[in-house]
Structure 1
Amino acid sequence: MIKKIVFLFALFLSTFSSAQLAYPPQANHVKSVVLRPLAPNRYVPIMRMGEKFELSFDDLEADQKEYYYKIEHYDFDWNPSGLSDREYLIGYQTDRIRNYENSFNTLQFYTHYKVTFPNNETKFRLTGNYKITVYDEFDQIAFVRKFVLYEQKVSAGIEIRRSRDLSAYDTKQYVEFDIKYPNVIINNPSEEVKVVLMQNNDWNTAMTHLKPQYYRGQQLIYKYVNETNFWAGNEFRYFDSKGVRDANIEIARVDSGPNLYHTILFTDEERIDLPYSLNPDINGNFVIRTIDGGQNPDLDADYTWVFFSLQSLEDLRGKQIYINGAYNNWEAREEFEMKMNPDTGKYEAIVLMKQGFYNYQYITIDKDGNRSNHDIDGSFHLTENDYTVLVYYRPFGARYDQVVGIGYGKSDRILN
């Protein structure tokens, strides 16, 4: 059976998925990219100006390559802002990543790289949208990641309710929010202020170009009926591979493979026709960790082949199925596509992953590129989701979009 699965794994890796064309290239030997604040229990690369954050990743070729980073500033819509690097940075736009070490006592050798910002070579002058590109000594791009720097000049309040649309009352969540700006002079709010509204910090489904509907003194009110409805989806699935040789949460068994261990997950079943069940999660995020000796999971955690399988009776013809979450930057990459195994009648994928606790979900993408988080697992208004609103401000005559505020909301106490 394992031989059949490995054969299918090789087969689906050779099949190109058109859905990945929207994403920048990523070297397949570069894994476990983490970009987040250094503060504990912070998973999302949205930082206050001056706050420390870290980028880290593994190179499975373990040959201590020289990697470099390049930081670029973008506008609200993720177009280059047109500013020179001297305008938004103090120091170097591009520099070598000097902090790297080899893994210790692992079956899969790798070199772990990390760099902390701001650092002596690179500091930030401006808030805004940024991208960091990491490339090797031959100018081959390893990966690209987005991050946001902000200052809290305005306040944003969020409330999450059941959808006002009766046809989606049980399946969608409706978000309303307001922005208070007592200390900022805004002459034309509908033109100078822009917002991004995100569910679980996934830029793929972010809502943009929302205009304020009402003005009340120095307050902007966004109270749409349909425009700010999100499919609520279902709670994320999860597994914990912190013990490389032992079955743990949601792991059926661990097999000894020819080179690395095989982590076989229990077969997932569709939940679209099941009643909602509360299942606490971390909304698609992940934490690298290990209990197999050592005090530094960055270097001591090993890699295993993780076997995903899904039993679904839904009609998914014309759609592709992907494993999705923060681990893969919410990208529908080819290596995370589920393929039908005719021998088992299940959708299957095998993914090389570092030990840790992972949240994931199954999404579908149709031929027009439309994503769905509910074709397989359904959508329930009670699902606990994180919501974030980012406030951008460009006064008349300015050359870039400032990020002047951020607001958070959680649907664990949804309003009717």
Structure 2
Amino acid sequence: DWTPSALLKSQFLIGIDNQRIINYENSYSTLQPYSNYQLTIPNDNVRLKVSGNYVLEIYNNYYELQFSRRFIVYKDVVKVGGTVKRSRDFNYLDKKQTVQFSINSAGFPWVNPKKEVKVAIIQNYQWSTTINNIVPQYTLGNQLVYKYDKETSYFGGNEFLNFDTSDLRAPTAAISRIEFMDVYHHYLFTNTYRYNTPYTYFPDINGDFVIRTLQGENVSREAEYTMVHFTLPYTNRIGLEEVYVYGKFNNYALNDENKMVYNDKTGNIEASLLLKQGFYNFKYVLKAADGTIQNSTVGGDFHFTENNYLILVYYRNFGDLYDGIIGV
């Protein structure tokens, strides 16, 4: 659950963690100047000693937090096998998927797995979707078996929408027009609501994005930044709820930058984001007054939808101060 452990820094880290990022390249011949920074862990200054959940924080010269990213370090000790099935819950037959899995201990010496082993299930690498506090239903030889239905079920959502700005000047299927001002502006076709239409399969990359450009060879320093314009018709179905466009490209964050704003001239809600050239997946989501996220209001939920599911296996031995990860 990402609660900080009671470990001392010296117990999980070797070296110095507060270090300047010195590996960077400045952009070359781009309309929008930028610098591309790279950091590899472990490196000459720092190494990690134990497996588990980690948070990387990036600060500017004034020690102001710019952003943070979660990552995991794991030991490949146990094997995890899983399947995704249609939910057996009669109320959600057409909307939900159930993740069922087993953990093969391969002789791992746990004594009381219901106490020592924890699991986390994550949909499309979006940490806010995590399901945890699930104990094995039973053991079968060396296997811990989790064949829940409701407890490990997810709304299927719909396939992600996408656009491709790899070619600055040529509109692709999702782009209606391109304009050049201070930078290139890519206007996407107005998207439609899919909650009341039949499910249609089209391949996506489950919310991910890939930086690429046809105007250069080194995407780290030759890809341009373009202004991408998103449009969705306003309907009474939205009401006063806040609508956001998000994906892995912004770490599934909901903030003012990706919040959609009503345009009284067009009757649409709109958002504009400065994004590096590439292929992007995205979705429209609603944020209710109580803070909950509603994925289905615009896109709908279908049990057919293809999603990625990540299963993390945590182990805490008696007396340990942290949960290590022993399988994925």
Q: Which residue of 1 aligns with 2:86?
A: 162
Secondary structure at 2:302 match in 1 = coil
Q: Spell out the pairing of 1:325-340 with structure 2 (5 A cutoff).
A: 325-340=247-262
Question: What is the one-letter code of the residue matched to 1:229?
Answer: S
Aligned residue among 287, 297, 304 for 1:375:
297
Question: What is the one-letter code of the residue matched to 1:148?
Answer: I
Secondary structure at 1:248 match in 2 = coil
Are 2:137 and 1:213 equivalent residues in the alignment? Answer: yes
Aligned residue among 256, 271, 274 for 2:194:
271
Aligned residue among 260, 272, 276 for 2:183:
260
Unaligned runs of 5+ in 1: 1-76, 407-416
Residues 307-341 of structure 1, C-alpha deviations (whole Å, 9 max, x = no match) = 10012535122421111110000111211111221
Q: Spell out the pairing of 1:109-148 with structure 2 (5 A cutoff).
A: 109-148=33-72
CA contact (8 A) 1:85 1:93 kept: no
Instruction: Give the distance between the partners of 2:28 and 2:173, measured in 1 at CA.
Output: 25
Question: What is the one-letter code of the residue matched to 1:272?
Answer: Y
CA contact (8 A) 1:314 1:376 kept: no
Q: Which residue of 1 aligns with 2:99?
A: 175
Instruction: Give the distance between the partners of 1:183 and 1:368, measured in 2 at CA.
Output: 46
Sort the Cα spacing of 1:188 and 1:314 in 2 relative to 1 into closer, same or farther, 3 A.
farther
CA contact (8 A) 2:99 2:149 kept: no
- Across the aligned residues of Structure 1 and Structure 2, the Cα RMSD in angstroms comes to 1.2
Question: What is the one-letter code of the residue matched to 1:358?
Answer: Y
TM-score (norm 1): 0.77
Aligned residue among 228, 238, 245 for 2:152:
228
Instruction: Give the distance between the partners of 1:318 and 1:185, measured in 2 at CA.
Output: 54
Instruction: Give the distance between the partners of 2:13 and 2:166, measured in 1 at CA.
Output: 39
Q: Which moves more between the two structures, 85-94 or 376-385?
A: 85-94
Question: What is the one-letter code of the residue matched to 2:66?
Answer: A
CA contact (8 A) 2:107 2:142 kept: no
Structure 1 residue 185, shift from structure 2 partner: 1.2
Residues 223-243 of structure 1, C-alpha deviations (whole Å, 9 max, x = no match) = 222111101010000000011
CA contact (8 A) 2:234 2:262 kept: no
CA contact (8 A) 1:153 1:183 kept: no
Question: What is the one-letter code of the residue matched to 1:349?
Answer: A
Residues 30-53 of structure 1, C-alpha deviations (whole Å, 9 max, x = no match) = xxxxxxxxxxxxxxxxxxxxxxxx
Q: Which residue of 1 aligns with 2:287?
A: 365
Instruction: Give the distance between the partners of 1:372 and 1:161, measured in 2 at CA.
Output: 22
Aligned positions, number: 328
Q: Spell out the pairing of 1:383-398 with structure 2 (5 A cutoff).
A: 383-398=305-320
Aligned residue among 201, 213, 219 for 1:297:
219
Question: What is the one-letter code of the residue matched to 2:242?
Answer: Q
Question: What is the one-letter code of the residue matched to 1:339?
Answer: V
Instruction: Give the distance between the partners of 1:347 and 1:214, measured in 2 at CA.
Output: 50
Secondary structure at 2:19 match in 1 = strand
Question: What is the one-letter code of the residue matched to 2:29?
Answer: N
CA contact (8 A) 1:270 1:312 kept: no
Q: Which moves more between the two structures, 361-370 or 314-323?
A: 314-323
Secondary structure at 1:115 match in 2 = coil
Counting aligned pairs with the same residue, the percent is 42
Q: Spell out the pairing of 1:244-259 with structure 2 (5 A cutoff).
A: 244-257=168-181, 259=182
Structure 1 residue 403, shift from structure 2 partner: 0.2
Instruction: Give the distance between the partners of 1:79 and 1:217, measured in 2 at CA.
Output: 33
Question: What is the one-letter code of the residue matched to 2:99?
Answer: V
Residues 269-304 of structure 1, C-alpha deviations (whole Å, 9 max, x = no match) = 011111111110100000111111x31111011111
- More relative contact order in 1 or in 2 (CA 8 Å, sep 6+)? 2
Question: What is the one-letter code of the residue matched to 2:221?
Answer: L
Q: Spell out the pairing of 1:51-90 with structure 2 (5 A cutoff).
A: 77-90=1-14
TM-score (norm 2): 0.97
Aligned residue among 245, 269, 283 for 1:323:
245
Q: Which moves more between the two structures, 244-253 or 259-268?
A: 244-253
Residues 74-133 of structure 1, C-alpha deviations (whole Å, 9 max, x = no match) = xxx211112122221222222110011211111111111111222111122111000000
Q: Which runs of 4+ in 1 moved over 3 A?
A: none
